[in-house]
Structure 1
Amino acid sequence: MLSTLMQPETLSIIIGVFFGMTSRIMMLRTDYRQYPTYPHGKIIQVSLGFIAAGLGALVVPALLNKEYTAVTFLALAAQQFRDVRKMERETLTNIDEMELVPRGTAYIEGIAMVFEGRNYLVIFSALVASGFTMLFAWYWGILAGIVSLFISRWFKSGKALKEIADVRLMDVRVDGPDLYVGSTYIMNVGLPKDIKIIEENGMGVLLTPKDKSAKVTLSDLGQRQAILHNLSVILGVYRDSSEPALVPMAKLDLDSGELALFLLPREKDPNQVINIVKGAPTLENAIRLPTNS
């Protein structure tokens, strides 16, 4: 039994699967996005991670043994994980209909893209660890696997909003029926009871873009909705369904390119509001680089 385990092929597959699974578990967490759910959502993702790790670990030993059909494993993996992306998109879209402040299609597409991409990082970790074990020695495979974990961790998350915009609190004021955050007009509020709620619970945030590319990114409707959703999920929102006047909103100052946010959080913690906005993800499908062009 021990001699079988010490065979180069077997050892490389074991080490590859181990580091592939370790990579997936490192990247798997349920946070303010409330997804994947526990326990079944996590079971699904861990199971898919095991499949990805197995595929990555098998490729190098198979190729070295002239089993060239092993390349088809990667093609099958690509198709399978495209289906994972589709599954996540459909699931989150269905859940989004029940949210008081929806994620929006752009945010959902970004999350689905991340789930697909992380499975490819699992394949990468498994392939690197398995390949170094097979080509050199088991200890080189373990070292390469550890390095691959750091690389996977580096690529796990994208940019945060604090990298493209300065964030500060602004006063919320109601002038007659008109609601403003700073000097930016938000909406018309007609009912006196809604005005009272806004005056008591409303908060305003102003995002100032750091460059011209950031201005275009902040103007994206999907990016704005993602910020509002994060704030509402973490801090709560002072509203119920069928109350359009109490919906958190984001409006752009067309002259300066600044983005004004109107919030009705359950927890009015100014420092936490600033930190949440700064830490909000910059959506990949919202990033624009007109200055590079």
Structure 2
Amino acid sequence: MIEQAYAHRYTASIIVGIVLGLVARLTMLRTDYRQYPTYPHGRIIHIALGVIAAALGSVAVPALFDKNYTAITFLTVAAQQFRDVRNMERNTLSKLDEMELVPRGGTYIEGIAMVFEGRNYLVIFTAFVGSLFTVLWGIYWGIACGAAAVLVSQIFKSGKSIAHAADVESAEVRIDGPDLYVGNIYMMNVGLSADRDTIRKQALGFILKPKNCNFRVSLANLGQRQAILHDLATTLGVYRDSGEPALVPMGKLDMNDGRLALYVPLQEPDAEKAQKVLLRVPLLESAVRMPSESAAQPKKGGA
């Protein structure tokens, strides 16, 4: 009887772990303004991978309790599988990026691919926690602790945004002869009068002031700038077609103080909406630098 009870407990733990892991994956999967993953086929792929990740996390617990330590080596196979997921996302988005009027850029694509891989590991974690506490204390405790793990996954599913890195303010898009300025920062030369007229009507300008020296380096990253321009163009619609170089959104640095000026011709030139979009652009992990932590920097208090 005891052996049967344990056998049923293991079955229950696997079921609870898979269900909670799938719930965690569904809460982390949404098609937003970036239109990725696509609906329905892209979502089907990621949901299927979420089920696989949940099964791996939940089955690992009975294997450990049965002291079948060799059985959990399949987690190494799972790690390879999810690295392949990352490669799949990278290749897919790179192909899609070739057709964008304002591309995401390689840094943004790598960040998205990294997120999709990482979220599968969060699914494994959630399934493992739910399965573990089901074996130890019963189904209700397993569900409760698994639900807490889902909430933890929500905390770790996303990183920082531009709102953490910089203050954003609107700036005048000014044309002085053929020269285009955003505030007092020179952007480029615009030769055609028709382009200058379009810029006066449709373009918005913004200046991002980094909050410290670390974020100054992050905003200088070309990949981070491209991600900002892409999100603005995707959300509010870029006012350009192919073969119009004067209407390509652009970001330029003030070399003296590290401010980043943005020039963006938009279908919907609403400064308030654009500012909200800017503040929510993700701060890319691969663009983050920490020069303040360098041993070459002077420490506070003379240390």
> TM-score band (shorter)?
over 0.9
Aligned to 1:252: 253
Spell out, residue by residue over 1:190-229, the C-alpha distance to the aligned partner (whole angstroms, 9 max, x if none).
Answer: 1111111001111100000011111000000000000000
Question: Counterparts in 2 of 1:82-93, with a 5 A limit?
Answer: 82-93=83-94
How many angstroms apart in 2 are the aligned matches of 1:70 and 1:208?
A: 53
Aligned equivalents of 2:269, 2:197: Cα separation in 1: 16
Show CA shifts across 1:225-273 (max 9, x none): 0000000000001100111110000000000100000011111111111
Range with greater deviation from structure 2 (130-139 or 253-262): 130-139
Runs of 4+ in 1 over 2 A off after TM superposition: 3-6
Corresponding residue of 1:15: 16
Which ranges of structure 2 fall in alignment gaps of 5 or more residues?
295-303
Q: Offset at 1:6?
A: 8.0
Contact 1:230 1:280 in 2 (8 A): yes
Deviation at 1:54, TM superposition (A): 0.3
Amino acid at match of 2:173: V
Partner residue in 1 for 2:220: 219
Question: Which amino acid in the other structure matches residue 93 of structure 1?
Answer: S
Counterpart position of 1:164: 165
CA contact (8 A) 1:4 1:10 kept: no
Please, which runs of 5 or more residues in structure 1 have no aligned partner? none
* Deviation larger for 100-109 or 139-148: 139-148
Give 1:1-293 correspondences, 5 Å limit: 7-293=8-294
The answer (yes or no) to whether the contact 1:236–1:265 under 8 Å persists in 2 is yes
CA distance in 2, matches of 1:70, 1:251: 54
What per-residue deviation string (whole Å, max 9, x for no partner) do you get for residues 178-201 of structure 1? 100001011111111111100111
Per the alignment, residue 299 of structure 2 pairs with none
Question: In structure 2, what is the Cα distance between the partners aligned to 1:200 and 1:221?
Answer: 27
Output the amino acid matched with 1:255: N
Q: Which moved more, 1:221-230 or 1:58-67?
A: 58-67
Q: Is the 8 A contact 1:5 1:11 kept in 2?
A: no
The residue type equivalent to 2:201 in the other structure is E
Q: CA offset at residue 5 of structure 1? A: 11
Amino acid at match of 1:7: H
SS in 2 for 1:9: helix
Task: Tell me how many residue pairs correspond in the alignment.
Answer: 291
Which piece of structure 1 moves more, 128-137 or 113-122?
Answer: 128-137
AA matched with 1:135: L
Cα distance change, pair 4–30 in 1 and its aligned pair in 2 (3 A): farther
Q: Post-superposition shift, 1:70?
A: 2.1
Most deviating of 220-229 and 131-140 = 131-140
Pair 1:284–1:204, CA change in 2 (3 A): same
**Letter paired with 1:78:** A
Whether the 8 Å contact between 1:16 and 1:54 is mirrored in structure 2 is yes
- 8-17 or 67-76, which moves further after superposition? 67-76
Q: Closer, same or farther in 2 for the Cα pair 1:129/1:200, shift >3 Å?
A: same
For 2:34 and 2:151, the matched residues in 1 are separated by 24
C-alpha distance in 1 between matches for 2:278 and 2:265: 14
- TM-fit CA distance, 1:68: 1.6
Matched residue of 1:28: which SS? coil
Give the 3-state SS of the residue equivalent to 1:291 in structure 2.
helix
Distance in 1 (CA, whole Å) between partners of 2:122 and 2:264 is 37
2:182 partner amino acid: V
Q: Distance in 2 between matches of 1:254 and 1:123?
A: 45
| Residues in 2 aligned to 1:15 and 1:6: alpha-carbon distance in whole angstroms | 14
Looking at structure 1, the residues matched to 145 and 62 of structure 2 have their Cα atoms a distance apart, in angstroms, of: 16
The alignment's TM-score, normalised by the length of structure 1, stands at: 0.97
